[in-house]
Chain A
Amino acid sequence: MKAARGITSRAHPLWLAYILHRLSGLTLALFLPLHFWVLSLAMTNPARLDGMLHLTEAGMLKLIEFGLVFLLAVHMFGGLRLMALEWLPWSAPQKLLAAGAAALSFLIATLFLMRAI
């Protein structure tokens, strides 16, 4: 509790972006071996792969999948934000606008795609 307060007392928007980027990256890196192993079942045990894929229909796993897709998107946009911050000599408000525009356009594109299919 005290340790948590020691961290959160210094939190600010850019720091939250940093911690989100780090935790999403860590989670994705830990998930990858499982992801790869399941796909390689196509070679070693196709029946088991089908069984695993049907498992993804379960409610709890659906939520986890949504979480992973969200983390992937967040990590990618967080990374693009970081590279813009480091490499493009833009002012802070310009960067904020650019990040907002990218996020908004991605949201619109996703909505469009989900309606289209």
Chain B
Amino acid sequence: MLTLRLYLLQRITALLMAPLVLGHLAVMIYAIRGGLSAAEILGRTQGSVLWFMFYGTFVLAVAIHGAIGLRAILHEWAGVKGATLEVVMWITGLGLFTLGARAVWAVTIV
């Protein structure tokens, strides 16, 4: 169910995300002082190439990582297998990427 390639993709995206998660945790601890507001978040992120790259990479990695992780759980705990498992993994990955890309676009570009 998990081949060498899927295993490696899972570990590579994990390594890629480790520093991003630390960064994200730091931003969160910093950002929640005095409550959250749209203006504050957007003021920090909008028009910033750096934040676009940071969260763009994060979204791409998490879409792959999450899809492979859910694949393992769906197979082991829900008995999903064969072509259905492949399709569900791809839909999960593409869905996460689409939603994530929209969010990154919304807070850094528009």
Which residues in A have some Cβ–Cβ distance to B below 8 Å?
22, 25-26, 28-29, 32-33, 35-37, 39-44, 46, 49-50, 53-54, 56-57, 69, 72-73, 76, 79-80, 83, 110, 113-114, 117
CA distance A35 to B107 in the complex (A): 12
With A43-B105, A69-B25, A76-B21 as given contacts, are A25 and B69 in contact (CB-CB < 8 Å)? yes
8 A-B pairs closest in CB distance: A43-B106, A39-B103, A36-B99, A36-B103, A53-B36, A42-B106, A29-B66, A40-B106
Q: Secondary structure at chain B's binding surface: helix, strand, loop or mixed?
A: helix
A69 neighbours in B (Cβ, 8 Å): 25, 28
Residue among A49, A76, A117 making CB contact with B38, cutoff 8 Å: A49
Nearest CB in chain A to that of B26: its residue: A113
| Contact-residue size bin, chain B (C-beta under 8 Å from the other chain) | 35 or more
